[in-house]
């Protein structure tokens, strides 16, 4: 089983990823995650905007998946800290995200992820996070 298949298997076993309907499109070590729109994700019905918690959880799973994909971990990384910047309202439509692992050390990984909808150049939210990657942590 290659690394991409291991990641897909992990997401298939993760109840929250299943609840969100999260999908991964993987080409080598580059991955785009997709959150297919569902009405249950609406946080503000007046403007039909996605709930911030849904967007944040999607970004966190994207960052964790990218770290897992690029590492040799036998289990998903554990969050140390996460900061999410909500840049504009996410509309009631599909959401896409990509993550970049800035540093992958023996104990910790530093990751940035961005989520967008119609235009990648106009992200709706951005995440900066650190994850514990030490196997004995």
And the tokens for 24? 């991964």
Q: What number of CA atoms fall less than 13 Å from residue 101's CA on the CB side?
A: 22
- Could you report how far apart the first and last alpha carbons of the chain are, in Å? 25
CB 6 within 8 A of CB 67: no
- Total domain count for the chain? 1
Domain extent at residue 125:
3-132
CB 121 within 8 A of CB 114: no
- What's 114's domain CATH number? 3.10.129.10
pLDDT tens by residue, 80-120:
999 999 999 999 999 999 999 999 999 999 999 999 999 99
pLDDT tens by residue, 6-15:
888 888 888 8
For the entire predicted model, the pTM comes to 0.92
Looking at the domain assignment, is residue 137 inside a domain? no
The whole-angstrom separation of Cα 58 and Cα 56 is: 5
pLDDT of residue 112: 98
Looking at the domain assignment, is residue 64 inside a domain? yes
Looking at the domain assignment, is residue 7 inside a domain? yes
């Amino acid at each position: 089983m290659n690394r991409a298949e291991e990641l897909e298997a992990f997401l298939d076993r993760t109840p929250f990823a299943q609840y969100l309907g999260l999908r991964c499109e993987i080409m080598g070590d580059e991955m785009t995650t997709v959150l297919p729109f569902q009405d249950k994700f609406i946080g503000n019905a007046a403007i039909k905007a996605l709930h911030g918690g849904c967007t944040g959880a999607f970004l966190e799973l994207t960052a964790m998946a990218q770290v897992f994909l690029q590492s040799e971990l036998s289990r998903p990384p554990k969050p140390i800290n996460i900061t999410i910047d909500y840049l504009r309202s996410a509309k009631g439509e599909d959401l896409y995200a990509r993550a970049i692992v800035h540093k992958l050390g023996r104990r910790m990984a530093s990751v940035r992820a961005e989520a967008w909808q119609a235009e990648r150049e106009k992200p709706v939210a951005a995440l900066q996070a650190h994850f514990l990657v030490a196997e004995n942590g």
